[in-house]
Amino acid sequence: MPEDSQTTRPINFHISRYNPERDRKPYVQTYTIPVRAGMTVLDGLHYIKENLDASLAWRYSCRMGVCGSCGMLLNGHPTLACNTQILHIATKDLTVSPLPNFEIIRDLVPDLLTMFEKHRSLRPYIVRADEAEINDPQGEFYQSPAELERYLQFSYCIKCGCCMAACPTLATDARYLGPMPLSAAERYNLDTRDDGRGDRNAQTGSAHGASRCHYAGECSRVCPKGVDPAKAIQYLKRQLVLDYLHLARRKKPCQKLHGPGQAKPLPNIPAAPAKTV
């Protein structure tokens, strides 16, 4: 590893290329680039595009590991290109391919539409039994820190698709919902404000739902945000079994605070100033 950030080392990028208008299947093209300490794979791809081959295509946006656009297979591991320093994973050769278990649109660009459609089918938003309440809210929901902690970890998902690429079930079963949609469903099931568990169970308990997970755990190992989808799916399975056996504990309805003046303020909080309008 170069000690000084000015010295460079040549690294061979073996990149999977595919142009649907010309190629029948992907092929590997190799580029050698000078790599400084601290350069991420995304920096490397930019170098190639700017200096060696302008036709290279990939997705990226934030370049800081929060948008989830640049998920790709680096030396066989699905991860974010912006979050991975080249010299941490390669000394001479680096293989870059698009995320597997998706269709490839072009070069390193996977078609994530199937993942998003599966996600949408599980209604990944707060569903209340009383629809009017959502459209015309009369107050805010109260959620204690303990209640928040029950689902917070699973809300950090950035929808990068790395877990879907790592899952062994998705390698063969195109209809399996996958770690991301299932952990998104569980994030809402665990949310005290949500009443949609019954509806989601119909999907998550179906033939290609949570029971197709066999706890290989790869999704949690590769997740760049520590969401731990494997844990969410096991919680989901437990809830499905309890619901099937009618042993599920009744969900406490979420407390509501109806507008200012109705909640009891703490003793040393001064009153609000008089309205001026």
Query: For binding to other proteins (CB under 8 A), which residues are involved?
Result: 18, 20-21, 25-26, 76-77, 98-105, 110-111, 149-154, 156, 168-176, 190, 201-202, 205-207, 209-212, 214-218, 220-221, 223, 225-228, 230-231, 234-235, 237-241, 243-245
Q: Residue 266: what are its φ and ψ, rounded to 5°?
A: -70, 155
Q: Which is nearer to other proteins, 111 or 133 (CB)?
A: 111
Nearest approach, Cβ of 101 to other proteins (angstroms)?
5
Q: Which is nearer to other proteins, 2 or 198 (CB)?
A: 198
Strands 93-97 and 109-111: unpaired
CA 182 from chain centre, in angstroms, equals 11
Nearest approach, Cβ of 270 to other proteins (angstroms)?
33
Nearest approach, Cβ of 185 to other proteins (angstroms)?
14
Q: Can you give the C-alpha Rg of the chain in angstroms?
A: 23
Q: Which is nearer to other proteins, 151 or 188 (CB)?
A: 151
Amino acid residing at 235: Y
Q: Which is nearer to other proteins, 33 or 122 (CB)?
A: 122
Q: Which is nearer to other proteins, 12 or 75 (CB)?
A: 75
Q: Which is nearer to other proteins, 195 or 218 (CB)?
A: 218
Residue pair 64/70 in contact (Cβ under 8 Å)? The answer is no
Q: Which is nearer to other proteins, 117 or 140 (CB)?
A: 117
Structure tokens at 92: 């001479």
**E strand residue ranges, the chain:** 8-17, 27-36, 71-74, 77-80, 93-97, 103-106, 109-111, 140-141, 256-257
Q: Alpha helix (H) ranges present in the chain? A: 41-47, 86-89, 113-121, 131-135, 145-152, 162-166, 168-172, 179-189, 197-204, 218-222, 229-244
Nearest approach, Cβ of 65 to other proteins (angstroms)?
10
Q: What is the rounded CA–CA span in Å between residue 147 and residue 255?
A: 11
Q: What is the rounded CA–CA span in Å between residue 90 and residue 13?
A: 10
Nearest approach, Cβ of 222 to other proteins (angstroms)?
9
Contacts of 19 (CB under 8 A, 6+ apart): 55, 106, 107
Nearest approach, Cβ of 167 to other proteins (angstroms)?
8
Nearest approach, Cβ of 226 to other proteins (angstroms)?
3
